[in-house]
Amino acid sequence: MQAVSRRTCRATAALGATGLALAISCLPPAAAQSDCASRSTTTRVALIELYTSEGCNSCPPADRWISSLPAQGFDADRVVPLGFHVDYWDYLGWRDRFADAGFAARQRTQAARGGARFVYTPQVLFNGADLGQMFRGAGFEERLARANSRPAAAELGLAQRVTVAAVGVELESRVLESTARGFSEIYVALLENNLRSEVRAGENSGKMLMHDSVVRRMIGPLRADAPGRLRWSGTIALQKDWKRADLGLAVFAQDSRDGDVLQALFSPLCAKP
């Protein structure tokens, strides 16, 4: 796949962070900065979606499981985890500061694709399919190994340009699976690790909760053209309280019919300003 070599803009919907003014702009190529560019592998990287809430007393074990993945050898070349905090438990007495109604809406869309009539927390999706309690046992590793053995159904390329206040993103994708080209959706998510909250009310009152791979902002769906190609540029504002060393960008391509993830890619935030 060729590096991004021209300025391109596409309109997009923004999912998450209600009220965010997300600037979409044309950017000059950033891919020449090799340490600020990354590309997907030829085999498929799985996507994990954890739907969780600080107001749910059964969620902390799932949050800890997400945090434990790298130590188990499940690095970003095998699986990309996303932690979506939902807002529908806020009424129990504790407002989850990472939650967003847009994330709950995504969960409902994903559930509808699988024929489910309700959503719940903690819920773990593996490449768009409900994993149930399988994430707690050896079955997860076997399922991940099968997913990683499949050839990638999409190619993804990501370049970053970081400033004091924002990160400019240049994305290039190509859907390889011909039957999915007309149904592909591409998403960009900004994640943060090493987060903690001292919960003072609700079901987890008195607990210190730790979180990794928390989705701070999400952009999408972005649509590929008829041959399955997409070039897109955008800018994500960085909040002052976000820890730069703990930020990263995730990109994934998904089949809108069944939610199957065609490919995923993660890159830490570029250290170059």
Decide: pTM greater than 0.75: yes
Domain ranges, ordered by start, for the chain: 14-268
- Extract the tokens encoding 84: 């979506």
Residues of the chain with pLDDT under 50: 1-14, 17-34
Residues 6+ away with beta carbon under 8 Å from 204? 54, 55, 56, 57, 59, 60, 94
152-173 confidence digits (pLDDT tens):
999 999 999 999 999 999 999 9
The pLDDT assigned to 204 comes to: 97
What are the pLDDT digits (tens) for 118-150?
Answer: 999 999 999 999 988 766 777 899 999 999 999
Give domain 14-268's CATH number out of 1.10.3720.10, 1.20.1260.10, 2.60.40.10, 1.20.1440.20: 2.60.40.10
